Chain A
Amino acid sequence: MSYNFINGKQLLEICRKEEKKIWEILILRELEETDTTYEAIMERMDKTISVMDRSIEKGLQGDQRSLSGLIGGESHLLEEYRKKGDTLLGDGVLKAAAASMAVLEVNASMGKIVAAPTAGSSGIIPGGILTLGKERGKTKEEIIRSVLTATAIGLLIARNATVSGAEGGCQAEVGTASAMAAGGIVELMGGSPEQVLTAAALTIKNLEGLVCDPIAGRVECPCMKRNAIGTVNAMLCADMALAGIQSIVPFDDAVDAMYRVGRSLPYTLKETSLGGLAVTKTGLAITMELKEKNEKKKKRNS
Chain B
Amino acid sequence: MKSLGIFDILGPIMIGPSSSHTAGANRIGQVARQMAYGDILFAEVNLFNSFAKTGQGHGTDCAIIGGLLGMKEDDEDLKNALQIAKKENFSYQIHFLDAEEEHPNTAEIKMTLKNGEQLQIKGNSTGGGAIQIVEFNNMKVSFSGSYFTVIVRYLDSPGMIYQIAKVMAEHNVNIGFMDVNRESKGQEAVMVMECDKAVEESVIKRIKRDIEDIYDIYIFNPIKDVG
Binding site for B on A (CB under 8 A): 4, 26, 30, 33-34, 41, 44-45, 47-48, 51, 66-68, 106-120, 122, 147-148, 151, 154-155, 158-159, 163-164, 166, 216-220, 290, 294, 297-298, 301-302
Contacts and interface: CB of A to CB of B under 8 A. Distances in A.
Contacts of B8: 155, 158
Contacts of A111: 15-16, 76, 79
Contact of A302 (B3, B14, B58, B96): B96
B99 interface: no
B212 to A, nearest CB: 37
Interface in B50-98: 53-54, 56-59, 61-62, 74, 76, 78-79, 82, 93-96
A218 B54 CA distance: 8
The B contact surface, by secondary structure, is: mixed
A178 to B, nearest CB: 14
B16 A44 contact: no
Interface in B105-139: 127-129
Contacts of A118: 19, 128
Contacts of B17: 66-67, 107-108, 110, 119-120, 218-220
B113 to A, nearest CB: 22
Contacts of A106: 16
A110 B18 contact: no
A302 B65 CA distance: 13
A255 to B, nearest CB: 14
Given A68-B57, A301-B61, A301-B94, A114 B10 contact: yes
Contacts of B227: 44, 47-48
A116 B10 CA distance: 5
B6 A151 contact: yes
Interface of B: 3-19, 22-23, 53-54, 56-59, 61-62, 74, 76, 78-79, 82, 93-96, 127-129, 227
A114 B13 contact: yes
Given A41-B6, A108-B17, A48 B96 contact: no
B93 A119 contact: no
Interface centre among A115, A151, A294 (most CB of B within 10 A): A115
Contact of B13 (A30, A51, A219): A51
Given A112-B76, A119-B17, A219-B18, A48 B10 contact: yes
B14 A113 contact: yes
A60 to B, nearest CB: 16
Given A110-B22, A302-B96, A115 B127 contact: no
Nearest to A6: B3
Given A113-B13, A151-B9, A217-B57, 19 more contacts: A30-B6, A41-B6, A48-B13, A67-B58, A111-B15, A111-B76, A115-B12, A116-B9, A117-B10, A147-B10, A154-B10, A158-B4, A159-B3, A163-B9, A164-B127, A216-B57, A218-B17, A301-B61, A302-B95
A107 B16 contact: yes
A155 B15 CA distance: 23
17 contacts: A41-B6, A44-B227, A106-B16, A110-B16, A110-B17, A113-B14, A115-B19, A116-B10, A118-B19, A154-B9, A155-B9, A158-B8, A164-B127, A217-B57, A218-B54, A218-B57, A302-B93
Q: Please provide the 3 A-B residue pairs with the shortest distance between their CB atoms, ordered closest to farther.
A: A107-B16, A110-B79, A154-B9
A68 B54 CA distance: 11
Contacts of B15: 110-113
A191 to B, nearest CB: 20
B10 A151 contact: yes
Interface centre among B6, B12, B22, B94 (most CB of A within 10 A): B6
B18 A119 contact: yes
Given A110-B15, A116-B10, A151-B10, A67 B57 contact: yes
Contacts of A117: 9-10
Given A107-B16, A112-B14, A34 B5 contact: yes
Contacts of A164: 127-128
A122 B17 CA distance: 10
B6 A148 contact: yes
